[in-house]
Chain A
Amino acid sequence: MSKYAPSLTQAHQAFLSNLFPDDGCVLSPEGLAAFSADASGERAMPWAVVRPETREQVQELLKWADAEHMPIYGRARGTGRVGSAVPSLGGVVVSMLRMNRILDVNEDDFVAVVQPGVVTADLQAASAAKQLFYPPDPASVKISTIGGNIATCAGGLKAVKYGVTRDWVLGIEAVLPGGRVLHMGGRSHKDVVGLDLKRLFAGSNGTLGLFTELTVKLIPLPEASASVLVGFSDLASSMEGAKAVFRAGVLPAACEFMDGPTIQAIRMGDDIPLADSADAALLLMVDGTQKGVDAEVRRMVAALDSVHPVSVEVGSGLEAEALWDVRRSISPSSFRIKPDKMAEDISVPRGSVGQAVAAAHDIGREHGLQVLCFGHLGDGNIHVSIMHDGSVQSEVDSAHLAKDAVFRMALSLGGTISGEHGTGLTKASFVNEQLSVDELQLMADIRHVFDPNGIMNPGKGL
């Protein structure tokens, strides 16, 4: 027998409707459907959705849920790629979109204090208005929230220079199952007292508690940036190009990579400012003061010259936007090859990226499928898209086999099955191939301390 509540009783419904009046509680099937899936396409219908507007409501909810053994799934915009927001065991989805106020952007402390439902790009814009900068920028930055970003420890294009979301979290206020409020960290940029619980919560995927207030670190807004799109005749040259840039002493804010099949997919529908002979490409960005950016671009271009690129395009402002349009067009372009894809995001030691990409291509060939590799070369995080036709069962089967092979390849190179997407539902079965029995047991024990009844986002790998 399941340890969870088997359904939502009338008493449960009455409690939720009372705590979240008017449109704050959703019980209709058509209303619930919107909360059944995320960007992974995985799906399970929740029993109810609630929309808290205050911390006190969250406390009451988690006190009740713990007593009733009711599964609880925190959710913001549902843009995750692995099904972490999907209510796979039924229960109550907690939509945080109405806790969306920016409480403080402070030029003296260099911090921002926000509620979890704030869209990350809105936080960046509010910071930029005061010449401050919140650097983490997952591809979903305009549509995802800071709460979701911290819950998943979102990465992004600029992780090579600025790190991932966890590196910018100074303080977290979270409500635990049972209704206890935990304040972790604060506005201090340094803090070594005790265990760093806030970093544990960053990337915990809603398994420890629900965020109600978040404090993040800010830095001065860079005054200038410039981007360089570099074409290479083959994969190996592009890897040498990246090495040359780093060896020249330049730390780019972004260092993106595209393989030949990715470039071909873009060319099927868009113009691309790369030489026709380019079969791999790097897209680099530097930021800082105007003089510093100019100097770094000169040094980068000189360093790249030693590895004989087939084309080099430098741009700032609107010209740079045109270069980044190429990067942004990858995902929609990939569907020109096949209607469906398995999008994995392995990460390997940076020096092994070339080997990983070549191995991913080999795996694709072995399974009769086209594999595209692109992504964040600067931190070894490569997106591997296994293209297939979901209506052809043999291709679906091959894609699953190819996915497993890609994961094993990443592990064999000392890497990880996920650099930023997480494991959620889609990779849950593979987690124990990466983590040891001891690690898994310790993680389960830690979760048990915060959530003894296991109500927080159950049914996922971690």
Chain B
Amino acid sequence: MSGDCILCGKCLEVCPLLRATGREELGPRAKADLCRLLSEDPNLLSETDVAKLAGLCLGCGRCREVCSQGVDVSALVAVLRGAHPDFKAWLWKTWLIHAKKLWSPGSAAAKLIPEQFHSEKLGPMLKMLAGLKGKSGLEPCLEVTFFPDTYRGKKMLLFAGCTANFVQTRWLMTALKLLDGLGVEVLPGDFKCCGSGLKAAGFADESESMAAHNVQVWRDAGCPPVVTFCASCRAGLQGYDGCFESVKEQEKWQNTLLSLSGILLDAFFVLSDNVPETLAYHQPCHARGDDTDYALLNAALKNRMVGATGRQCCGFGGVMRLAAPGLTDPVNQQCWDALAEADVVITGCSACVTQLAATAPDSVKVGHWLELIK
């Protein structure tokens, strides 16, 4: 994964961490190069120190997209993290594995913790937990007046993701309502977490077990299309490897993954009078390329959006949020700088929603685009 890096530096253009910190050693090229140095001469550097430095990665995957040599720095980092877990990674693992048990009560509990107990590092995390649950900050302002017949009568699975299943159940309800409008028959399917957060944090065994379970749910349902409305979940599902019976089955899995916004592109929407004056879209790192969320919203909102991020990451960063909040903060700030004109920010990724909601200026509301749907 690292041997092919030719040090060209193309990845330097897209790394949000490098841009926000001005620290070249945090860029993807440096990480790939560190891994190579370590493999070529194990005595040159301490593997633990290398893992600690290279582990400071947001896992956004932007560098992989632009690499002409196919180097996957996020995957390299995951391997290093897996070989050198520490308690912060353990905490992240515990949080994700026990999402069902922890997230909702954790969210309620976080609200009760007095501010003076919020340590500098844990404060933003607690604020994020507190923001996970609760009423929508956004007022619905979009109504669907016409659903196309393209998918009427089709059977599909809905992969809602941990946030919608355990905390933001209103997203799940709205998604089901939209699928009903499209005439889709939603099949029952007991999916687990997509596993992408764990994979990036270096817990390969646990994430592979989740992947195998989710693929089996899909098989048992007769391999129907799988609809998602979280960009990070979808990227996680697309990245499944090693849990398929054949290459053909893997290709079929890839082709069955649909975005909810993608199958709504031919629907008609009307706007109510309460459409926010200044509304902006945050493009998740994992929604780059064919971003149907943006296409749908741009069309439905009749170009009412005042701005959109493209190169800025929200700074969520998975396990890095726990390990090095001081480094994710400037990344987050650059994102808010780009969204400065907006009173309302919408996005299509559960991690981005939680991170942006936790860090938003007081006057700015943040939500998933599903919250705009009446």
Which A residues form the contact surface with B (CB < 8 A)? 23, 26, 28-31, 33-35, 37-41, 51, 75, 77-79, 95, 97-98, 100, 117, 119, 121, 140, 142-144, 331-332, 335
Contact = CB atoms under 8 A, between A and B. Distances in A.
Interface range on chain B (Cβ under 8 Å from partner): 20 to 34
Contacts of B25: 26, 30-31, 33-35
B9 A77 contact: yes
Contacts of B135: none
Interface stretch (B43-51, B94-102, B291-299, B351-359): B43-51
Nearest to A144: B9
B305 interface: no
Contacts of A78: 7, 9, 24
Contacts of B21: 23
Contacts of A98: 22
A30 B24 contact: no
B53 A31 contact: yes
A47 B281 CA distance: 45
A79 B9 contact: yes
Contacts of A31: 25, 53
Contacts of A37: 7, 33
A34 B34 contact: yes
Nearest to B47: A30
A95 B7 CA distance: 17
A97 B24 contact: yes
Contact of A77 (B12, B50, B68): B12
B117 to A, nearest CB: 27
A76 B67 CA distance: 20
B50 A30 contact: yes
16 contacts: A28-B49, A29-B44, A29-B49, A30-B46, A33-B25, A33-B33, A33-B37, A34-B24, A34-B30, A35-B25, A41-B7, A75-B24, A77-B24, A79-B8, A143-B9, A332-B69
Contacts of A335: 69
B323 to A, nearest CB: 15
A33 B7 contact: no
Contacts of A28: 49, 53
A406 B58 CA distance: 44
A30 B49 contact: yes
In the complex, the 8 A-B pairs of residues with the closest C-beta atoms, listed nearest first: A34-B30, A332-B68, A34-B25, A97-B22, A98-B22, A79-B9, A143-B12, A142-B13
B22 A30 contact: no
A119 B23 CA distance: 14
A390 to B, nearest CB: 11
A41 B37 CA distance: 12
Contact of A100 (B22, B44, B52, B68): B22
A119 B46 CA distance: 33
A143 B23 CA distance: 14
A406 to B, nearest CB: 21
Contact of A35 (B12, B22, B24): B24
Contacts of A332: 68-69
B285 to A, nearest CB: 18
Given A30-B49, A30-B53, A332-B68, A140 B7 contact: no
Interface string B4-26: 00111110110000000111110
A433 to B, nearest CB: 28
